[in-house]
Amino acid sequence: MTTTQPLSLTSPLMSTYSRFPVTLVKGKGSYVWDDQGVKYLDFTSGIATCNLGHVPDAVKQKVEEQLQNLWHCSNLYHIPNQEQLAALLTANSCGDQVFFCNSGAEANEAAIKLARRYANKVKGSGSSEVVTFTQSFHGRTLATLSATGQEKIQHGFAPLMPGFSYLPFNDIQALDQLAVRKPAAVLLEMIQGEGGVIPAEQEWVNELAQVCQENDILLMVDEIQTGMGRTGTLFAYQQYGIEPDVISIAKGLGSGFPIGAIIAKEKAAKAFEPGSHGSTFGGNPLATAAGLATITYLLDSNVLDNAKKMSEYLDVQLQSLKEKYTVIKEIRGKGLLKGLVLESGALEIVQKAIGNQLLILTAGPNVVRILPPLPVTKAEIDEFTIALEKSIQSTEKGE
């Protein structure tokens, strides 16, 4: 049986990952190849990062052009790619200004800092607390793991950073506490990815947005996994009819190049001023060239329409498996972020899938997470369905 293995004690790398016994050396579109030449269908998309597939031509071209000119310069100077990318992000969201960084954790760090500074410098009164939700995941820095509503992520890192509290996700009655406590902000995912692919319920989101508006609480949405078309629209919040004050993004923004950002409405953005926050590498010419090419392609091509159509087709295929196998209890998610809820044994199915040349993920012990690239085809979904069914069958047989 395929297993995940920590690195040996002789490795120069720290043992922060249990790795599958696969060494990937090449990728194109929906496929990757290992160092033995074996081809795998990649329905992880680098954990929702390679949303356009591996090495998309439109992004590759722009990155190669930028490599010939300038890789990095200080944010003390104007960077044309950065300003163009910020203009596209604000034009296609409810935000007004952008801060660039290097990762999702850094984006959420920036959002948390912005919320505290907003409370202290703009509101000038009230709590600087940030409220998040149980089963959330917001990163692994000290602040973002403190914001994360999962004890397993926080284990061993006490004392956690103060200033965070947690409410149950999708619980309308619990929102009454916000009006009493009046925190600086709430931070939520529209779909809890790491927490089990759990979508926010529309009625709950409506109530949350109203409470935030009435009490001058910043509504901050973590779109790091759901952004850049993953759920069928550029941002998942756009399907809920709300306007966040702050949006954090990363992953799919750079098609694999490290880049993150927060997009904020003017009322929140003005809390930052020169010297209040910064990033050496954030928004450098190379990363923003990748981001600019990625979002331009997302907006100008039919890839979002394809994602919507293929999501519907994937739903049909997953439902057909659910009808055949009692181990599958539920299918949830939006767009091309799907969760297959099982009785048990998600990791075992993921391990079996590798032997069937399919890469998928877990989202907790009982959920298989499925993240195809947005340009995925029906033929690739059919290939995925066959490989997943083989993996389920071999698991049930105990092979």
Instruction: State the pLDDT at residue 355.
Output: 97
| Closest to 141 measured CA to CA, from 169, 113, 100 | 113
Indicate the class that CATH gives domain 57-300. alpha beta
The CA angle 102-104-110, to the nearest 5 degrees, is 80
Task: Please give the model's pTM, rounded to 2 decimal places.
Answer: 0.95
The CA angle 238-242-247, to the nearest 5 degrees, is 70
Instruction: State the pLDDT at residue 395.
Output: 82
pLDDT digit string (tens) for the chain, length 399 residues: 455 655 555 789 999 999 999 999 999 999 999 999 999 999 999 999 999 999 999 999 999 999 999 999 999 999 999 999 999 999 999 999 999 999 999 999 999 999 999 999 998 877 899 999 999 999 999 999 999 999 999 999 999 999 999 999 999 999 999 999 999 999 999 999 999 999 999 999 999 999 999 999 999 999 999 999 999 999 999 999 999 999 999 999 999 999 999 999 999 999 999 999 999 999 999 999 999 999 999 999 999 999 999 999 999 999 999 999 999 999 999 999 999 999 999 999 999 999 999 999 999 999 999 999 999 999 999 999 999 999 999 887 765
Instruction: State the pLDDT at residue 398.
Output: 64
CA dihedral 381, 331, 136, 109 (to 10 degrees): 20
Q: Is the dihedral of CA 43, 44, 48, 52 positive or negative?
A: negative
Q: What is the DSSP letter of 29?
A: B
* Mean pLDDT (the chain, rounded): 96
Q: Where along the chain do the CATH 3.90.1150.10 domains lie?
A: 5-56+303-397
Convert the pLDDT of each residue in 3-61 to its tens digit. 565 555 578 999 999 999 999 999 999 999 999 999 999 999 999 999 999 999 999 99
Instruction: State the pLDDT at residue 126.
Output: 74
Q: Are 89 and 254 in contact (CB under 8 A)?
A: no
> Strand ranges (DSSP E) for the chain?
5-6, 18-19, 24-28, 31-34, 39-42, 97-101, 130-133, 164-167, 185-188, 191-192, 198-199, 218-222, 246-249, 260-264, 328-334, 337-342, 358-359, 361-362, 367-370
Q: Where along the chain do the CATH 3.40.640.10 domains lie?
A: 57-300
The first and second tokens of residue 51, run together, are 């949303």
The first and second tokens of residue 307, run together, are 């994602």
Instruction: State the pLDDT at residue 298.
Output: 97
Instruction: State the pLDDT at residue 1.
Output: 45
Instruction: State the pLDDT at residue 207.
Output: 98
The first and second tokens of residue 182, run together, are 């009046």
**Fold (CATH) for 5-56+303-397:** Aspartate Aminotransferase, domain 1 (3.90.1150)
Instruction: State the pLDDT at residue 399.
Output: 59
Instruction: State the pLDDT at residue 3.
Output: 58
> In which residue are the tokens 């009006």 written?
179
Q: How far is CA 163 from CA 184, 186, 269, 357, in A?
A: 10, 12, 21, 45
Convert the pLDDT of each residue in 223-245 to its tens digit. 999 999 999 999 999 999 999 99
